[in-house]
């Protein structure tokens, strides 16, 4: 077959194409909510940029422990209200939903307070420090009747919907191997959040959650998890290599590290064909379908590679408008299950955070 390259245009693809077009709705069509941003750092800035550029969502308030920092963020993005505390933001009646972008160590307290005030919550990954905290948040959200979702933005991107459709179609045959990695070089510094135990630092929660979540999406619940790793000079995990098995017996081979910049690629190999995600698998990316004889069968190319965080916000908005309290694309039971996996890996590596 002659390889083709196309972008996400028509809703369902065309007959004869080996790779389908994504079914992902336009983020701009999602019902508009009024958002409050907690912890205006780098990832929060990317989130605000994506919402302003690609959605109808409104960012109406930002909260920080530093009032000047909140004001600078508000001025940068044209946000009406800036608060010098998270409590003040949660007292603002104009806020429908909060996006929490703080270090992992702050996720539980900040999300719980938001839930208790009746706010919907989009909570950055990794969801919490551990499964105990995750379970308590999920229980609180259920009791209060609010929407709660882990901000695993990858799950909502168009190329991931292409992959889901291919997996459902059986095009790959029986999936046998998933490979994914995420590593970067972080300069050793005890004050850096990735090296700080008190901020729940380390490679696993910040980077390793991506390949683990990807493997879970493909393989389903893990039947077994085996990990080896190396700790940093501060005692957090610096590198981990993980082998998981799915209930079918398929393997996932996963790696994460703070010690080197890795390709951050991913592939899914089956008995008939394989999928390769080009470049950073966790962001907007192209996907190639490769046959058993290594021939390129088809290629999907996204129309846009920037602003990928808009898709998770749009998903939250659609779910809330529909009266749903969680997303089918990133369900809370899977978030909790992966937090248990992260706990087990950290325990095997001898890594614990203060106060656990």
Q: How many CA atoms lie less than 13 Å away from 259 in the CB half-sphere?
A: 14
**Is residue 27 predicted with pLDDT exceeding 80?**
yes
Q: State which CATH number among 3.40.50.10800, 3.40.50.12710, 3.30.360.10, 3.40.50.150 fits the domain covering 154-349.
A: 3.30.360.10
Query: pLDDT tens digits for 233-275?
Result: 999 999 999 999 999 999 999 999 999 999 999 999 999 999 9
Query: pLDDT tens digits for 132-177?
Result: 999 999 999 999 999 999 999 999 999 999 999 999 999 999 999 9
Q: Which of 71, 125, 182, 251 is catalytic?
A: 125
Q: Where in the chain are the domains? A: 27-152, 154-349
Task: Check the CA dihedral 44-46-51-53 and report its sign.
Answer: positive
- Output the pLDDT for position 215: 98
Query: What is d(CA 85, CA 87) in angstroms, rounded to the nearest whole number?
Result: 5
User: What's the whole-number average pLDDT of the chain?
Assistant: 94
pLDDT band at 356 (very low <50, low <70, confident <90, very high): confident
Query: What is d(CA 11, CA 14) in angstroms, rounded to the nearest whole number?
Result: 9
pTM, entire model:
0.93
Query: What is d(CA 293, CA 118) in angstroms, rounded to the nearest whole number?
Result: 55
β-strands 175-183, 251-257: how paired?
parallel
Neighbours of 255 (CB within 10 A): 19
pLDDT band at 304 (very low <50, low <70, confident <90, very high): confident
Query: pLDDT tens digits for 89-133?
Result: 999 999 999 999 999 999 999 999 999 999 999 999 999 999 999
Domain 27-152 CATH class label: alpha beta
**Is residue 312 predicted with pLDDT exceeding 90?**
yes
Give buried/exposed letters for 30-61 (b at 16+ CB in 10 A, else e). Answer: beebbbbbbbbeebbebbbbbbbebbebbbbb
* Cis amide leading into 289 (omega within 30): no
Query: pLDDT tens digits for 183-228?
Result: 999 999 999 999 999 999 999 999 999 999 999 999 999 999 999 9
Q: Is 231 a catalytic residue?
A: no
- Output the pLDDT for position 17: 56
């Amino acid at each position: 077959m002659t390889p083709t390259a196309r972008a996400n245009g028509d809703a369902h693809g065309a007959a004869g194409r080996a790779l389908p077009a994504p079914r992902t709705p336009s983020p701009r069509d999602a019902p508009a909510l009024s958002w409050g941003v907690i912890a205006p750092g780098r990832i929060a800035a990317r989130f605000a940029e994506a919402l302003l550029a690609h959605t109808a969502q409104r960012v109406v308030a930002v909260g920080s422990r530093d009032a000047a920092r909140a004001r600078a963020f508000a001025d940068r993005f044209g946000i009406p209200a800036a608060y010098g505390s998270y409590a003040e933001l949660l007292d603002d009646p104009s806020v429908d939903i909060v996006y929490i972008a703080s270090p992992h160590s702050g996720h539980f307290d900040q999300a719980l307070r938001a839930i208790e005030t009746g706010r919907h919550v989009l909570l950055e990954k990794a969801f919490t420090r551990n499964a105990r905290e995750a379970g308590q948040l999920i229980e609180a959200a259920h009791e209060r009747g609010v929407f709660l979702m882990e901000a695993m933005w990858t799950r909502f991107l168009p190329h991931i919907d292409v992959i889901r459709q291919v997996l459902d179609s059986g095009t790959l045959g029986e999936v046998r191997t998933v490979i994914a990695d995420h590593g970067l070089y972080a300069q050793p510094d005890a004050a850096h959040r990735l090296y700080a135990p008190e901020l729940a630092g380390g490679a696993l929660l910040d980077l390793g959650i991506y390949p683990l979540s990807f493997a879970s999406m493909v393989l389903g619940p893990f039947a077994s998890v085996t990990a080896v790793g190396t700790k940093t000079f501060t005692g957090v995990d610096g590198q981990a290599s993980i082998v998981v098995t799915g209930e079918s017996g398929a393997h996932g081979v996963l790696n994460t590290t703070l010690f080197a910049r890795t390709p951050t690629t991913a592939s899914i190999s089956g008995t008939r064909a394989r999928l390769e995600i080009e470049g950073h698998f966790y962001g907007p990316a192209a996907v190639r379908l490769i046959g058993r004889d290594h021939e390129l069968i088809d290629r999907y190319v996204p129309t846009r590679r920037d602003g990928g965080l808009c898709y998770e916000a749009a998903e939250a908005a659609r779910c809330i408008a529909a009266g749903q309290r969680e997303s089918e694309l990133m369900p809370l039971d899977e978030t909790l299950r992966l937090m248990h996996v992260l706990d087990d890996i950290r325990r095997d590596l001898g890594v614990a955070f203060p106060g656990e």
